[in-house]
Homo-oligomer: A and B are copies of this chain.
Amino acid sequence: MKRFEKHIFVCENKRPEGHPKGCCADKNSIAVRASFKDRLKELGLSTKIRSNSAGCLDACEHGVSVVVYPEQIWYGGVTVDDVEEIIQSHILKNLPIERLKIKDAKFNKDEKIV
Contacts and interface: CB of A to CB of B under 8 A. Distances in A.
Interface of A: 1-4, 7, 9, 12, 47-48, 50, 52-59, 67, 69-72, 74, 102, 104, 107, 112-114
Nearest to A59: B3
A2 B70 contact: no
A114 B48 contact: yes
B72 A3 contact: yes
Instruction: Quickly give the copy total for this chain.
Output: 2
A107 B3 contact: yes
Given A3-B59, A69-B69, 4 more contacts: A3-B113, A48-B114, A50-B57, A52-B57
A4 B9 CA distance: 14
